[in-house]
Amino acid sequence: MIADRLVARCSMEKIAVAVERWSSSSPPMATITKPTANLASSLSNDVASSPHRKNSFIWVGPVPRVNIMEPELIKEILSKNDVFKKVKPNSLARLLIGGIAVYEDEQWAKHRKILNPAFHMENVMSKWEMLLLEKSSCDLDVQPYLDNLTGDVIPRTAFGSSYEEGRTLFELQKEQAELTRQIVQSVYIPGWRMKEINNELVAIMSEMINKRERSMKLGVAGQDDDLLSLLLTSNMREIQEHGNNKDMGMSFEEVIEDCKAFYFAGQESTSNFLLWTMVLLSIHPEWQVRAREEVWKAFRNNKPDFDGLNHLKIVTMIMNEVLRLYPLAATVIRTIHKDTKLGNMTLLPGIELLLPIILVHGDHDIWGKDATRFKPERFSQGIANGTKNQQVSYLPFSWGPRICIGNNFALIEAKLALVMILQRFSFKLSPSYTHAPTYAVNLQPQYGAHLTLSKF
């Protein structure tokens, strides 16, 4: 019920407003430029191929790790989340990503149950209007643009009427993500700033939640269609259904942690997803043409509707293939706290299991000798056929009970944005584009994504 209300009244409309705003802002300046000597050869090295599908053992600092490559074992690990647990982030990274994304056991199950309804997107309706750029063509780094687009969508869909505060949160989290990247790369640990940002985030969110709870109690109309309201309503219902036992719901602090998790998990990944899609369609213009033809046939110049989006076959194939080659969360890590058998291995507590999604997606045994090539036609008969029915060999959103809660949201948001971009622009790589995927928090381009956009 709640999900239907969110879906029907909130999301697409708000995504539309966000895109409209995004498309009418002026293009950012290109900053870093480097010539690409041989794009084709650098691309074929993007995805490390894995001719020997063996589980390998490595030490990372003091921590022993096993690289798990077999889909059957990956399936076992991801399905038994009571045995294979998430690795606890350090105290600074915890400031950025917390809540449902790091909880375990009963606490995780409780949050997942309360949050799930807010993420069902089946009936989303569309209302998009996008302004054209003034010029007929221009060179720009689309990365900050796409960041802004997704940074606009989440506040609108999640916090609707509290949009302005939502934007401030986005800016603060962007800074926090950048600092976390520095921590990951061990350049410098700007702990004091991380904590300062966290205090600001918590203060803004507390104010937002308090305000929303007050207006919900007063029955103020027009505020019940965003994620925050759904989350608070679902939480209240859970408490009421258990005889007003507050322990059955989420605490104020936990609501804040989950809101932070959506912001962080949702924004960067979706913007990078769109970005790699545009890059790959620039490198493979024949697929850009096919996608645009399909979009034109389905919508012409009209606003895309949800039903039409669901029927786009070529666009879906392309998006599946982009997520295969560029799975934004390139690896998933789990750990164990007691002696555990896995396949023919006996694992000791404390060992870390590295599930390299990006390597599984490039495995020759599953995807064939051309595993590293961009070939959307692999998915022409759907994902199961593309993987030759090998379960858990395509997992851009992970798998099992802890599969990404926002996967449908992300796919719809990205598809909608891509359709609207294809309706209005053609694009190719700019001479200043450098292909340099890098992995820090997310799979992203090291030097931005310089493309030449032309009015279509």
Annotated binding site for heme, which residues? Answer: 404
To which residue do tokens 């934007």 refer? 167
Q: Stretches 240-248, 282-290, 377-385, 400-408: which one binds ligand HEM (CB under 6 A)?
A: 400-408
- Compute how many residues bind ligand HEM; rule: CB under 6 A: 23
The residue within the footprint of ligand HEM, chosen from 405, 412, 419, 441 (CB under 6 A), is 405
Contact present, 35 and 452 (Cβ < 8 Å) = no
Residues 6 or more apart in contact with residue 310 via CB below 8 angstroms = none
Q: How far apart are CA 47 and CA 30, in angstroms?
A: 27
To which residue do tokens 């110049």 refer? 301
Max CA separation in the chain (angstroms) = 67
Task: State which residue, 87 or 138, has the beta carbon closest to ligand HEM.
Answer: 87
User: Residue 316, interface with ligand HEM (CB under 6 A)?
Assistant: no
Interface map 330-369 toward ligand HEM (x if CB under 6 A)? --x-------------------------------------
Q: Stretches 45-53, 168-176, 245-253, 324-332: which one binds ligand HEM (CB under 6 A)?
A: 324-332
Query: Which residue blocks in 62-118 are alpha helix, DSSP H?
Result: 71-79, 93-96, 105-115
Token digits of residue 362: 């490039």
Task: State which residue, 112 or 424, has the beta carbon closest to ligand HEM.
Answer: 112
Let me know how many helices (H) and strands (E) the chain has, helices first: 18, 12
User: Residue 396, interface with ligand HEM (CB under 6 A)?
Assistant: yes
Task: State which residue, 324 or 430, has the beta carbon closest to ligand HEM.
Answer: 324
Contact present, 10 and 153 (Cβ < 8 Å) = no
CA angle 106, 110, 112 (to 5 degrees): 115
The residue within the footprint of ligand HEM, chosen from 7, 18, 100, 256 (CB under 6 A), is 100
Task: State which residue, 209 or 357, has the beta carbon closest to ligand HEM.
Answer: 357
Q: Residue ranges for the binding site?
A: 404
The helix or strand, by DSSP H or E, that contains position 77, with its residue range, turns out to be: helix 71-79
> What are the backbone dihedrals phi and psi of residue 443, each rounded to the nearest 5 degrees, phi first?
-80, 115
The residue within the footprint of ligand HEM, chosen from 404, 412, 417, 422 (CB under 6 A), is 404
The residue within the footprint of ligand HEM, chosen from 410, 416, 422, 441 (CB under 6 A), is 410
Contact residues toward ligand HEM (CB under 6 A) are 86, 100-101, 112, 261-262, 265-266, 269-270, 273, 328-329, 332, 396-398, 402, 404-406, 409-410
